Structure 1
Amino acid sequence: MSAGSSTELLVAALRRELAGLAPGDRLPSSRDLITRHGVGPVTVARAIAELAAEGIVVTRPGSGTFVAVRRARPDERAPDTSWQTVALAGRVHVPGTDPAVTVGGGIDPTALPAGSICLAGGYLHESLQPTRALGAALVRAARRPDAWRRAPVVGITPLRAVLAHRIGPGFGPEHVLVTGGGQAALSMLFRAIAVAGSPVLVESPTYPGALAAARAAGLSPVPVPADGDGLRPDLLAEAFATTGARLLYCQPTFHNPTGAVLAPGRRRQVVDIARAAGAFVIEDDFARDLGHGCPVPAPLVADDRDGTVVHLTSLTKPASPSLRIGAVVARGPVMGRLRGMREVDDSFVARPLQEAAVELLSTSAWDRHLDTLATALRERCAVLAGALAEHLPDWTPERLPDGGLHLWLRLPDRTPCVAVAEAARAHGVMVEAGRRYFPAEPPASHLRAGFAAAAEPEDLVEAVRRLSAAVAGRRRATGRAVAADGAVTAGGAVRNGAVREDALGDGVLRDGGKTR
C-alpha cells in the first residue's frame, strides 16, 4: 500500500472517530494510532497535519492533539437568533437600527454619506473645538507622576474643586461627583433617584436622550408644557399634584431644542414647587458654556440650600465629544446613593482624562476658547436664520436663541416633519424631525436645525438651499402621487376615502372625506 493511500485511509478512519467526540476531547497519542491502525509514524503525522489544516483538530506541542471547536460550513443553516425575541419580551426597547442613527433616535454625524451637510447632532465641528489646547492639556496630564494611578470613585479632588467653583459660593469638592459625560450621568440619575414604574416630569418638548434614559430606567415621562419663558410653573404644580411624581427633569438655560431660558421670575418658583411636592429637580445645565455673548443666569442649584436640585454639567459640548467628562452636583444623602451607583456602573472615570480636564480648565486658553466660540456660534446662528428667511420664509424659528447650538423651526401647518427630514436627507442635508422631542403627541410640526456641526458658515447657506429644493421636490412628487392615485378631484373632493400621510401632512381622514 502506498504512503498516499495509507494516509487517506487513516484520515477517513479518524474522521469517523472524531464524529463521536466533542470539541476539546483529546485524540489518542501517535503511538496508540500507530499500533491501532498498523501504520507508520510518517503516515500518522501526515494524517494529523491534514486534519489540522482543515481546522478539524488542533495540535498543542507537549500536550497532544484535540478536537477543534466546530466551525459552521457554508452549506449549513444560518444562525437562528429568533429566541431572543421571546427572551427580551417586556424589556425596554430603545429604537435605532440605522447606523446613522444614535441611541436616542437622532443622527450620528460620524456615519453620514459623503458630501452631506450636517444640521443635526449636538456637538461642535472640529474647527470649533479647542484641539490644540486639548492636546497640550493631555500631554501635561500624562507627565504627572500619578497620571495612571487609580482615580477615586467620586473623581480627583482638583477637578471636583474646579467644577464646584463654577457653581458658586457654598459648594466644594464634597458636593461633586465626576461622571463619564452627561448622558451617562443622566442614566445614573434616573436609576438612582426614581423607582422603576414611577412618573418623571419633563418639559415638552425636551431632549430625546433624556427620554430614552428615563424609559430605559423604567420610568414614564409625563410632559409639562413650556412657552417662550420656559417651563410653566402653574402647569408644573398641577402635574406634581396629579401624578404624584417625585422627579422633574429640566433644562433651564438654553433649552434643547427650543433655546429658551427659564425666566427669572420662574426659576425660584420651579424649585419651590418641587420642594413642596417632596421631589427632586434634575437640572441639565449642558449649555452653560455655549452662550452667544449674553450674560448667563446662575444655575438653579446655586440658590438651593436644601438639596432639591441635582445639577448636571458636562465639558463635552463646549470642548469635544471625546472629552467624556461630566459632573453631578448635589447635597445630602442622594450623593451617597449616586456614589454607590457609580461603583456598580463603572467604578471611576479614567484618571488621565480627569487630569487633562483640570489642565484645560485651569489655563487662560480655555477662557479664550469660550470667547471665540461665543462669537462663532452667534455668527453661525445669524447665518442660518438669514438663509432660512431668504429661501424658506415660512419655516419660522421659535426664537433666535442667546445660546446653544440649534434653531427650533415651526413648520407650516400640515407639513409632516418626518417626511421633510427624509426628503432633506435624500438631498444631502441631515436635519432632525421634531416629533422625537415630544414625550407625547406633538402640538405642531417642527424641525431642529443645528448650526455648529457644519464645517463652515457657508455650508449652512448651501444646506438651506438644498432644503428648499427638497421641499419643492417633495411637493411635486406629492402632487403626482395624489393625481396618480385619483384620490383628490379637481374640486378637492376626496375619493376612495384615503390619502397618505405624505400627501396632506397628517393625512388623517374621516368619514365623508373630511380631515381633522
Structure 2
Amino acid sequence: MGQSSSSARIAEELRREIAGLAAGSRLPSTRALVERFAASPVTVQHAVRALVREGLVESRPGAGTFVRRARPASRADLSWQTAALGAARAQGAVVGSTLQTPSDDVIALHSGYPVDDLLPVRAVQNALARAARTRSALDRPPASGLAELRSWFAEELAEATPATGSAPTAADVVVMPGGQSALSSVFRSLARPGDAIVMESPGYWGAIAAARQAGLEVVPVPRRPSPAPSTGHGWAAVDPVDLAETFERTRARLFYAMPHFANPTGTSWTEADATALLEVVRAHGAFLIEDDWAHDFALDAPVRPVATRDVDGHVVSVRSLTKSVSPAVRIAAVVARGAARSRILTDRVVDGLYVSGVLQTAALEVVSSPAWHPHLRRMREQLRTRRDALAGLVDELLPPGTLTSVPRGGLNLWLRLPDGVESTTYVEACARAGVLISPGPEWFPAEDPESHVRLNYSGPAPGRFEEAVRIMARELAGLQRLRER
C-alpha cells in the first residue's frame, strides 16, 4: 500500500475517534501512532497534517496534538450601514408580487408578462441569432438608439396623430432598456428629489416604486368609480377638477398616468377625459407622463395615445416592447420634445451609456417583419378568449360585484372583495391552496380604500382557470365564515 493511501486510512480512523473526544483532548504521540498503525513516522505526520488543515486538531510545539475547540462561525457586522445609508428612499414593497417565480404545481394568475404561447418566440430567437452575426454585436450604438428603431417608434405614433396634431419624428425618440428603466429615467430627469408627482390611484406599482426611489413625493389622485362597471369603464379617469386642485396645492409638474387599459384596473380614459385632463396639464405648465404599456394589447377598443394630441411638448410618452415581444428583449422608447428630451437623453447616457445594439437590432427585425401584425391579431384573439373565460368564471363563482369591469384591453382583471375580507390575508390563503394572485395594496400610492386583488389572464395554463376560481371561491367563503363567528 502506498504512503498516500496509508496516511488517508490513518486520518479517517482518527477522524472517527476525534468525533467522540472532548475539545482539548490530547491525541497519542507520533511514536504511539507509528506503533499502532505499523506505519512510518512520515506517513503518520501526513495524516496528522491533513487533520490540522481540516481544522479538527491543532499542533502545539513541545506539547503535542490536541482536538481543536469548535469556534463560532464568523458573523459579519453590517449594522454600520444603517447610519451610513440613512432612511430608505423607497417605501413599502419595492418589488411587486408580479415578479414571483412560481413552482410548477401552482396556478399562476399573478404574473405581469404573457406566457410564451402568446409571444413570437421563434421570430425572437431567429432575430437574436442574426443580430449576433451583424456589426451590432460589436459596435457601440448611438446613445439615443438605432436610427431605424427610433423611426419605427415615431412612425407608430405618427400614424395615430390627427392632421391638426404635431407628428413626432425619430429625433424625438430615446431608446431605453425596458419600460421600468424608462420611467425611472423620466422621473429623475424631469423632477428633483423632494418634488411632488401626481399619480392615478390605483396605479402601476413599478411607477410608484420608481418615483419614490427617485426621491419624489407621490401624491395620489383617485380614479372615479363608475356606476356601470359592465361597460368596461369602472374606475374611470381622474376628475379634471381634482387634478387641477392637486397641481395648485402641491406645485407638482409631473402627472403619471395609464390612459389606456390601465394596470391594474384595465380601464381607459374616454376621448373627453383625455381632452379635459391634457388641458389641465397645459394650464399648469406640467408634463403628462403617458405610460402606453398596453399599446399592443388592444382587444375591443383602439388605442389613440394622448401624445397624438400634444403640440407643445406637454406629453412624454413611454412605450415598451418587452411584454409583446419577449421578456428577454428589454426595449422601450421615450418620446419627448425640447429640453425634456435632452435631459432624458443625458440621464440615459449617465445611467448606462447606451442600450445593447443586439437587442435593438433584434427588436427592430421582429416588429418590422411582415409577420408582426398577423402575430398581433392572433395574440389578441387568444387574449380575448382567455379574458372572457376568466371573467365569466369570476362572475359565475364569486360573489356578485366582485368583477369591477370587463377590460377592453390589457392583461388583467381587477376584483373588489366583499366587505370585511382583507386582501393580503385572502392572497395568502389562495397561495397556500395553490393559486397565486396579486394583492390590491401594491397598486395604491396610499391605502386601498376597499379591498382588491388583481388577476392576470396572460399566464400559463388557461385550462386551469376554472380550478383556480373554484379555489378562490372556496378560500373566500372560508374567510367570510371566520369573520361571521
Q: Which residue of 54, 79, 96 maps to 1:105? A: 96
Q: Output the CA distance in 2 between the equivalents of 1:340 and 1:74.
A: 53
SS in 1 for 2:442: helix
Q: Output the CA distance in 2 between the equivalents of 1:433 and 1:394.
A: 20
The aligned counterpart of 1:133 is 123
SS in 1 for 2:81: helix
Counterpart of 1:466, as a letter, is I
SS in 2 for 1:355: helix
Query: Is 2:442 the partner of 1:436?
Result: yes
Counterpart of 2:442, as a letter, is R
Q: Output the CA distance in 2 between the equivalents of 1:81 and 1:476.
A: 46
Q: Which residue of 198, 205, 211 maps to 1:201? A: 198
Question: What are the superposed Cα offsets for residues 338-385 of structure 1, whole Å, 9 maximum, x if unpaired?
Answer: 111111101111100000011001112211111011111111111111
The aligned counterpart of 1:191 is 188
Q: Output the CA distance in 1 between the equivalents of 2:366 and 2:184.
A: 26
Unpaired segments of 5 or more residues in structure 1?
1-42, 57-72, 97-102, 483-516
Question: What are the superposed Cα offsets for residues 292-336 of structure 1, whole Å, 9 maximum, x if unpaired?
Answer: 1x3423211112110000000000111221110011000111111
The aligned counterpart of 2:367 is 361
Distance 1:114 1:136, change over 3 A: closer
Distance 1:158 1:388, change over 3 A: same
Contact 1:202 1:221 in 2 (8 A): yes
Shift of 1:74: 5.6
Query: Is 2:171 the partner of 1:150?
Result: no
Q: Output the CA distance in 1 between the equivalents of 2:468 and 2:423.
A: 17
Counterpart of 1:236, as a letter, is L
The aligned counterpart of 1:456 is 461
- TM-score (normalizing by structure 1): 0.75
Query: Any residues of structure 2 matched to 1:83-482 within 5 Å, and which?
Result: 83-93=80-90, 95-96=92-93, 103-110=94-101, 112-168=102-158, 170-227=167-224, 228=233, 229-292=236-299, 294-394=300-400, 396-453=402-459, 455-476=460-481
Q: Which moved more, 1:401-410 or 1:144-153?
A: 144-153
Shift of 1:55: 10
Question: What are the superposed Cα offsets for residues 128-157 of structure 1, whole Å, 9 maximum, x if unpaired?
Answer: 111011112212322324432111110010
Q: Output the CA distance in 1 between the equivalents of 2:403 and 2:416.
A: 6
Shift of 1:91: 3.0
Shift of 1:76: 4.0
SS in 2 for 1:297: coil
SS in 1 for 2:223: strand
Contact 1:394 1:411 in 2 (8 A): no
Counterpart of 1:458, as a letter, is G
Q: Which moved more, 1:335-344 or 1:222-231?
A: 222-231
Q: Output the CA distance in 2 between the equivalents of 1:352 and 1:418.
A: 41
Pairwise CA RMSD of aligned residues? 2.3
Shift of 1:104: 3.1
Counterpart of 1:401, as a letter, is P
Return the structure number with greater helix share: 2
Contact 1:109 1:118 in 2 (8 A): no
Query: Any residues of structure 2 matched to 1:18-97 within 5 Å, and which?
Result: 54=53, 75-93=72-90, 95-96=92-93
Counterpart of 1:257, as a letter, is P
Question: What are the superposed Cα offsets for residues 419-461 of structure 1, whole Å, 9 maximum, x if unpaired?
Answer: 11111111111111111211122221111111111x2321211
- TM-score (normalizing by structure 2): 0.80
SS in 1 for 2:256: strand
Shift of 1:54: 4.3
Distance 1:391 1:347, change over 3 A: same
Shift of 1:185: 0.6
Q: Output the CA distance in 1 between the equivalents of 2:478 and 2:277.
A: 45
SS in 2 for 1:396: coil
Q: Output the CA distance in 1 between the equivalents of 2:71 and 2:121.
A: 48
Distance 1:374 1:74, change over 3 A: farther
SS in 2 for 1:268: helix
Distance 1:434 1:209, change over 3 A: same
Unpaired segments of 5 or more residues in structure 2?
1-41, 56-69, 162-166, 225-232
Counterpart of 2:378, as a letter, is T
The percent identity for this pair of structures is 40
Q: Output the CA distance in 1 between the equivalents of 2:200 and 2:171.
A: 30
Q: Output the CA distance in 2 between the equivalents of 1:120 and 1:395.
A: 21
Counterpart of 2:400, as a letter, is D
Contact 2:325 2:363 in 1 (8 A): no
Counterpart of 1:165, as a letter, is E
Shift of 1:209: 0.7
Counterpart of 2:180, as a letter, is Q
Contact 1:117 1:463 in 2 (8 A): yes
Contact 2:421 2:479 in 1 (8 A): no
Q: Output the CA distance in 2 between the equivalents of 1:174 and 1:364.
A: 25
Q: How many residues align?
A: 410
Contact 2:98 2:112 in 1 (8 A): no
SS in 2 for 1:231: coil
SS in 2 for 1:206: coil
Counterpart of 1:214, as a letter, is A
Counterpart of 1:125, as a letter, is V
Contact 1:133 1:366 in 2 (8 A): no
Shift of 1:476: 4.7
Q: Output the CA distance in 2 between the equivalents of 1:321 and 1:424.
A: 26
Q: Output the CA distance in 2 between the equivalents of 1:395 and 1:114.
A: 31
